[in-house]
Amino acid sequence: MKSILPLALPLIAALGLSACKDQAAAPEDIRPVRYMTAGGNAEIGGDSYAGEIRASHETQLAFRVAGKVVAKLVNSGERVKKGQPLARLDPSDYQLDLAAKQAQLAAAESDLAQQQLNLKRYRELLSKQFISQAQVDGQQNGVNAAQAKVSQARAALSASRNQTGYATLTADADGVVSQMQAEPGLVVAAGQPVARLSQDGAREIAIQVPENALEAVRQAGAFRVTLWKGGAPLEGKLRELAADADPATRTYPA
């Protein structure tokens, strides 16, 4: 009995120390705090938005006719002038059509000349009482029809000449080609965008506004614009605020 008691006391003491350690290791409650980043825009009140500077007028350029791209004359990022060629389609088919329309016009003009000559002869015969007035009137109708065919052929030739010209894509205004997709070998449809032109002139900043800030943005009289490259802040004003939210971000472009 004497030998068991000394062993029991250290065991009880060890258990007591273990319990104290478990109680001391209990984690403390996390207390929320408010904080503010010093410097930067910390002194500016109101909301701030990241935006993208772009041209106020950007044009999607496309060929007005279909065809295969055979020449890419400018690259993305290049500055261009109004009327400068940007890309060119294979004009073979349009040149053949132009030649056909020119031949049709030549044939129509030749027929008109013959009809007019016949009318002159009919009038001479009428003056000699060899033919009737009805025959002369019939020949006059032939001349009128021939004149209509000439007008039709000229219009067709003009349209074909335009189609040939449309095989070359040109810049609508001075600016920068921000995107060029017309690579040689690409077959494009009429109206398919192949380039984007950022026109010279005014610049704007595109931002995305959350729904809970729409009213504040509408009522704001002016905006302070700060560029990453530094420099004095710029003053801006709201030009446009979308009525519908972007389906992906659920924010409103402004």
pLDDT tens for the chain, residues 1 to 254: 444 445 444 444 554 545 545 555 566 667 676 665 554 444 455 688 889 888 888 899 999 999 999 999 999 999 999 999 999 999 999 999 999 999 999 999 999 999 999 999 999 999 998 999 999 999 999 999 999 999 999 999 999 999 999 999 999 999 999 999 999 999 999 999 999 999 998 889 999 999 998 988 888 878 989 888 888 898 889 989 998 999 998 999 99
Listed in order, strand segments (DSSP E) in the chain are 52-55, 58-62, 67-72, 79-80, 85-89, 168-170, 175-180, 187-188, 193-199, 203-206, 208-209, 223-225, 234-236, 252-253
What is the assigned CATH class of domain 57-90+167-200? mainly beta
The Cβ-side half-sphere exposure at 126, using a 13 Å CA radius, reads: 15
Residue spans per domain, the chain:
57-90+167-200, 92-165, 207-254
Report the CATH superfamily, name and number, of domain 92-165: Helix hairpin bin (1.10.287.470)
Q: Helices 92-127 and 133-165 meet at what angle, rounded to 10?
A: 160
Rounded-to-integer distance, Cα 53 and Cα 227, Å: 10
